[in-house]
A and B are shown apart, each in its own frame.
Chain A
């Protein structure tokens, strides 16, 4: 990734000269600010960074980053990014998508990019609504949501982005919140460090068409109780200090227990978070934790190592070249049976 720790860069260098055109109060502003803030710390020169997006509000993102950028077509950003990364593994390739772009029209590309483990960062902004087309329900919208296209309420069962990524065999899966700058910056750094596809769901508020869906996890007061911060090696404990609760698994089924102030959660059987199990079943159970019965987990669900697609592809080029020598066009054209006249 041509990371250079000595490289001194500033946030400003990553801000393009284009006016940002999201609605006032949109969660995308905060995500953009955090990405621009993290970029200088990654040690990758601006010219080696590429942002690729599809279509939707989130997909305007590349215009605002002073790096290389490609605003492509609806749902296909992962496929464009695959062509970039497979042919130029040294570039740092970031995919910006949304719940409609990534999980509806682009679901197939998301699936295959993740399963190939192409070393890119996928940032999926989830606001559970179509914003740019003015407010139709999305594949992550809850059953019953009333929108312009569902005046009697949605009858679609939603897909959970984290569970989807687990099903695709993602090697890095995380969830963060648009307004939690510190948490998001940490997750972005972790995603960048990961060798392979890093899938990050960012809970994002749409103040115009779906305002407040993440309010309980966004709000500083309610956040402690509504969300569960995942930290490797730490027990699954959440809630205010005076009213802590923990997650225990009984026969593989999660449930909540109350913890007294002097309880040792681990002794009480609270599960200790582990990002690295080879099997994805544990992360799969975490993905089922949904409000109101459970807190919503945020943080890194899973981080495991697997060879990346572009590295294996480059290995094939290198080994073929080592075995057969650099291709000779004349020898190719004369290979097999030929005759002279």
Chain B
């Protein structure tokens, strides 16, 4: 190939990625950079700092270290991610993928039931669950448990974290199932037949063939779902606003509350930057752990 052809090709390729580069720069890189800058100031939405924001160095980060509410929200986020994304969605997504790999009469219906939550806008989903979990005898769930003789519960007050974990599992199974289905379909039927001929029973086939061959898919799923669940906001905010008493204040909600309820934009930005670094670390860990092709 001639030098001029190669050079022309290189220019054409740069031209092709230009729109993406511009959009990413405008809506991701610039805001992120601005957040880093803001986190180093005492920018606020009211008070003297709003008039004259000052550069404060790492003061916001120093304050973070001793902020009990920040550590509490990190802990809540950890449990939320662990139980809803890593355990709940993954296990149920894998189970439903395996179930739907078989043929049975109600398959399209089950498929729709699992995928629908993913298609509903998150605020709509949250409002549905607000009605479902409403306290008092008119709440849908209270009506259901009443058949079993259980007294009406204040679900979102008594078990707030458990409830948002359940809601998030419900919403995320579909995505996990789609990924797991694609992982399962890449395992050839002949492998299962060979394993049967070798004398493996159903559970041995699952443990020794299916699961090891799904590991790359599972890691890919964990990468995507961990990072997106750390950043979750709308679903939980619409349902609980982080309450009661901060018990569902995920780190995303904490950032919002600090920035727009306490008006401390600089401090909120510092939390956001820490979470960004944290997500990057988790992502790198997964990618390293299994050299997943992302």
**Do chains A and B interact in one complex?**
no
Q: Which residues of B contact A (CB under 8 A)?
A: none
Q: Which residues of A contact B (CB under 8 A)?
A: none
